[in-house]
Amino acid sequence: MALSGERLLVAAMATDVAPDQAFESLPPHMSYGRPFTMGELQRPILLNAMRNIFLDQPVLRNTTGGRTLELVRDGEPVFARFVRGVDRASKDNPINPHWHAIHSLASGIGKYDEEDEHNHEFLPHVTDTEDFGLGWRQRIRFGSVALISMKDEDHANKIIANFPLAKYGRG
């Protein structure tokens, strides 16, 4: 059963994006978990947490393409690559502190689709698009982490907020 209301996604962006920018298809990104819903009144709590976790922080700096992953989206196979240099995480093994913080907050003040069997996993990957495919050991630079309002029948994917990461540093 799909959740009602606006679906949100937290994602590390591999291209420059700005608040209020809209996309029919999202540019290359690495999702910090699955889409979730959250009330408008709770959004400032999430935005403040994202600001504290990501703004000007030296995270996601030494990342490259890993092994190929085949996914199914809308009944069609799509290809992606795991992102090396980012620790995988799950509900039982929260080794990625950024994923754990975002997932805990989203599930605490928002809601994941209970029928989504993967909502407790973080599998860092970038999905291939017509214009972009991450190669094996190819370096990928994530410049920011964004909160995105996911596309529905009324509107395109839209950047709600964008938090630039530190330009230098290790992480």
Q: Which residue has the tokens 């990928």?
A: 140
Spatial separation of the C-alpha atoms in residues 51 and 55, rounded to whole Å: 5
Residue 2 pLDDT > 80, yes or no? no
Read off the pLDDT of residues 19-71 as tens digits, 9 standing for 90 and up.
999 998 889 998 887 889 988 888 899 999 999 988 888 777 778 888 887 77
Q: Is 168 helix (H, G, I), strand (E, B) or coil?
A: coil
Q: In this predicted structure, what is the pLDDT of residue 5?
A: 63
- Dihedral angle of Cα 31, 49, 112, 39, to the nearest 10 degrees: -120
- State the CATH architecture for 7-164: Alpha-Beta Complex (3.90)
Nearest to 85 by CA among 54, 57, 62, 66: 62
**What is the model's pTM?**
0.83
Tokens representing 19 are 């608040």
Q: In this predicted structure, what is the pLDDT of residue 89?
A: 59
Q: Regarding predicted confidence, which is higher, 148 or 122?
A: 148
As a whole number of Å, the CA-based R_g of the chain is: 15
DSSP-derived pairing of the beta strands 157-164 and 144-149: antiparallel
Read off the pLDDT of residues 86-142 as tens digits, 9 standing for 90 and up.
766 555 555 577 878 888 888 888 888 777 776 677 777 888 888 888 888 888 888
Tokens representing 139 are 């370096």
| Top-ranked range on mean pLDDT: pick from 25-29, 71-75, 81-85 | 25-29
Q: Is 32 helix (H, G, I), strand (E, B) or coil?
A: coil
Q: Regarding predicted confidence, which is higher, 149 or 79?
A: 149
Spatial separation of the C-alpha atoms in residues 26 and 79, rounded to whole Å: 15
